[in-house]
Chains A and B, each alone.
Chain A
Amino acid sequence: MIHLKAKDLTRYFERRRVFKGLHFELKKGDVQVVLGKNGSGKTTLLRILAGILPPSRGKASYKLNGDELRGEKLQRIISLVAPDLNLYDELTALENLEFLSKIQGFNFKEKELIETMSQVGLEDRAGDQVGSFSSGMKQRLKYLNALLKKPLVLLLDEPKANLDDQGISFLEKIVQEQKQRGILIWATSAREEVKYGDQILQLG
C-alpha cells in the first residue's frame, strides 16, 4: 500500500517564501485538492512531491508496503500532468509515448500504444507531430502518457485546463480509477473543483 508523508515542507525562491511548514499524510484511495490562487505555490508543491524540485526545508517521503521509495523506483510510481510540462512538439504522438515509456523501462509495443491512444480519440493522429495538435489534444496526450505506467501517485496541476466536455468526462473517469489504484493530488485555483477531493489543502 502506498503512503505519502509530507513533513514541514517549505520552499523559498531566493528570499521570497512560497509556502512554509506544510504537513500532510495521504494513503491509497485518498484524493487531496490543493486549492489556492495564482502564485500561491500549487505548482511548486506538485514539483516537490514529484521529486523534480527540492524543498528548501522539510521532506516528502513515499513508502510502498513499508519500504521507502527513492530515485528510479520513485520515478516509476509518480506521474505529473501540468501546464508547464510539455511533450516534444517535433516528435509524433507515438514517438513521444514510445520515448517516455521506453526510458522508464516500460516496453510497450507500437500496437499497444496506438490502442491506448484510442481511449482519448487520438489513434488517427498517432503519426502526426505534437506541434500540430490543439492545446486540448496535447492535454489529452499528456494524460495518456501519465497513465501509461498506471501510477500509484498521480499529481494533476489545473487538470481541467484546455479540456472540452469529452475530456472532462475522461478526467472524471481517471479520478475514479486512481482512487482504486493509489493517491491523487489535484491542484486548482477553482473553488468548485473541491468536490473531486476528500481532503483540502489551502495555500496562500
Chain B
Amino acid sequence: MFEIFGIPSTALFGQLLIGLINGSFYALLSLGLAVIFGMLNIINFAHGAQYMMGAFAAYLLLDWIGIGYWWALIVAPLLVGAVGVVIERTLLQWLYKLDHLYGLLLTFGLALIIEGLARNHYGSAGLPYTVPESLQGGRSLGFMFLPNYRAWVIAASLIVCLGTWFVIERTKLGSYLRAATENPVLVRAFGINVPLMITLTYGFGVALAAFAGVMAAPIYNVSPQMGSSLIIVVFAVVVIGGMGSIMGAIVTGFGLGVIEGLTKVFFPEASNTVVFIIMALVLLVRPAGLFGRRA
C-alpha cells in the first residue's frame, strides 16, 4: 500500500476502475447513438430506456424461465433489438423527411412510455441481479483488488466497441453503411436495400444499448430509472466527442469515465458535474467537438 498525492493507492485505483466501468457504458451507449445518428439522422432519446430494457430482459429471463447471464447476454440484446426494429418500422420511418427534432421528440415520448411502464410494474426500488458464478471473486494485483466481473465488463465492452469500429470502418458491409450515410439515394441506385439497412442499423444500435444494460445489471441494480440519468451524461459525451467518428465516440466514452472516476477521488463534490463542465469547456474551445467535423 502506498500513496499518490496523499490518496491511498487502493482508493485511487478503485475509483479508476469504477471510472473505466462507467466509461465502458458511456462508450457503448455513445457508440450506439453515433451509429444510429449516422444512418437515421435521429438522436435516439430512448437509448437510456433501451439500456434499461436490456437489464430488465436479463432479469426477467432469469426470473421467468431460468436463462442465466451468458445466454441473456445474447438473447436480451436480440429481443430488445427486435423491439427497436418494430419501433423503426412502425414509427421512426415516417419521420425521416421531417426536421431531426421530431425524431428526438418521438423517442423522448417512447422513453417516457417505457420507463413509466417499468415503474408501474416494478416500482422505483432496484432489483438485484447476481454476478454469474464463473465471474465471482477477484484477484489481487498487489496495488489493488480487481473483481473478475469488472475486469470482464471492461474487456467485453472494449471488444464490442472495437468490433463495431472494425465492421464499420474496415469491411464491405461497413463501406455500404458509410456510403449510405453520405448519399442514400445514390447507394440505392446501385441496388442496395437502404431502407433495410436503416432498419437493421437502428436495431443494432438498440441492441448495443441492451447489451450494455445486461452487463450493467450485476453492477448496478436493475431499476426503471437506471437509463434516464445515464443518457443525459451520454449526450454530453456525444457533444464532447462529436458524432462524426466511431473511434472518437469510443475514446471519449472511456476517457470521460476515467476523468469522472479521478474527480471522485480528488474533488468528490464535482463528480456528478465534471462531464458537463468539460462539455462547456470543449464548446468554448472546439465547438464542433473533439473528433467532430464542422458541418
User: Do A and B interact?
Assistant: no
